[in-house]
Amino acid sequence: MEADSLWDILIVGTGPAGLGAAVNCRVREKSVILLGAEGGSERLMKAPEIKNYPGFPEISGKDLMKKLLDHAQGMGAVLERGRVQTIYPGDELTTVTRDNRLFRSRAVILATGIQQARLLPGEKDLLGSGLGYCATCDGPIYRGKEVAVIGESPEAEEEVNFLAEICSKVHYFPSYKGQGELKVDPRVNVYRVKPLSVLGEERVEGVALPDGKLPVAGVFIIRDVAAAEQIISGLKIEENSIEVDRMMATNIPGVFAAGDCTGKPYQAGKAAGEGLIAALSAVRYLDKKE
Ligand SMILES: Cc1cc2nc3c(=O)[nH]c(=O)nc-3n(C[C@H](O)[C@H](O)[C@H](O)COP(=O)(O)OP(=O)(O)OC[C@H]3O[C@@H](n4cnc5c(N)ncnc54)[C@H](O)[C@@H]3O)c2cc1C
């Protein structure tokens, strides 16, 4: 399919849930694109020995990951490396990646794994009012102004350097390992503390630090894993998991979810099984529309 094709089903996440869903979408002959890490689930690959995945009495996480990837791709699912930043719901869903690629699909399955991202106090309320997740998209709004960037992954450094070119000052708060080798523009102020909250009533006014307030016009938060409600506005979350019904449907039409992102137990077998249900539900949703 062409880059600007309309896919039947777009799946976010290349772990057991996403790949389990992909296999079953392909069995039903739907076109499928998976967006996520090329090598699959970082979590599953950390499992030294899995003894409870049916059909494989003893298998390492790495080997199971390879089998899942080979199976899905062998059935014609297309896998693209990419971090999903935003999904715009609608009759046709538009998915935007962090590097600004656009994908169109008729249904979406979220298989993003455990919800790791904890929102900072103030973050939810100020989103879109001086707070954003993509400097490449929104950076130009802050030309000549002071901004703060909270980076939870080295990928943030590229965004920081872009902002350093256009903003009067960039304050950078990295919170990942390997900060000794930061590759940031010398004009950037680097901090070794974590902001406590984002400040402001109607708009961002600054960030709260352990020793006081840092006034800024804008704040960017760059995370490796975004919370699902950041990806799709209005998505219902309960106890830090995506709320789904028994058919893995979320509260947003055409959007389904499967695996660790829907809650406990956090297990590969449960993830793959929910992937299957989500796939069949997505297929039914598409068939009904036709
Ligand atoms: C040490 C360890 C041992 C384990 N042992 C076992 C075991 O013995 N048995 C068992 O059943 N389970 C075990 N597990 C748990 C198992 O790995 C998980 O339950 C399973 O991987 C969940 O699958 P998932 O597809 O839901 O999520 P994940 O495997 O976490 O995959 C989610 C994927 O989505 C990607 N993603 C997230 N957000 C985005 C985004 N915005 N854009 C693109 N991609 C995104 C992530 O990077 C990740 O690759 C173990 C886990 C660990 C860490």
Residue where one domain finishes, among candidates 203, 222, 241: 222
What domain range includes position 156? 123-222
Closest approach atom of ligand 1 to CA 258: 26
CATH number (domain holding residue 250): 3.50.50.60
Mean per-residue pLDDT over the chain, rounded: 92
**13, 110: one domain:** yes
Distance 260 CA to ligand 1 centre (A): 7
Does residue 122 have its Cβ closer than 6 Å to ligand 1? no
Give this prediction's pTM.
0.82
Query: Mind listing the pLDDT tens digit for each residue in 62-107?
Result: 999 999 999 999 999 999 999 898 999 999 999 999 888 999 999 9
User: What value, to the nearest 5°, has the Cα angle with vertex 107 and ends 243 and 86?
Assistant: 70
**82, 206: one domain:** no
What's the one-letter identity of residue 260?
A: D
Count of structural domains, the chain: 2
Query: Mind listing the pLDDT tens digit for each residue in 146-179?
Result: 999 999 888 899 999 999 999 999 999 998 876 6
**30, 150: one domain:** no
Query: What's the distance, CA 82 to chain centroid?
Result: 9
Of residues 39 and 239, more confidence is placed in: 39
Closest approach atom of ligand 1 to CA 260: 26
**105, 236: one domain:** yes
What's the one-letter identity of residue 208?
A: A
**72, 132: one domain:** no
Q: Per-residue pLDDT averaged across 131-139, rounded?
A: 84
pLDDT at 230 over 90: no
Does residue 41 have its Cβ closer than 6 Å to ligand 1? yes
From 45, 112, 235, the mutation candidate for ligand 1 (largest count of ligand atoms within 8 A of CB) is: 112
Structure letter (DSSP) for residue 120: P
Kind plus residue range of the DSSP H or E element containing 256: strand 255-257
**141, 103: one domain:** no
Q: Residue ranges of the alpha helices (H) in 143-200? A: 156-166
Residue where one domain finishes, among candidates 222, 240, 259: 222
Residue where one domain finishes, among candidates 222, 244, 271: 222
Radius of gyration of the chain (CA): 20
Helix, strand, or coil here: 208?
Answer: strand
Yes or no: say if 222 and 172 are a contact pair by the CB < 8 Å rule. Answer: no
The confidence band for 224, taking pLDDT boundaries of 50, 70 and 90, is: confident
Q: Give residue 42's pLDDT.
A: 87
Q: Is residue 1 part of a domain?
A: no
Buried b (16+ CB within 10 A) or exposed e, 87-96: bebeeebebb
**21, 60: one domain:** yes
How many CB atoms neighbour CB 101 within 10 A? 14
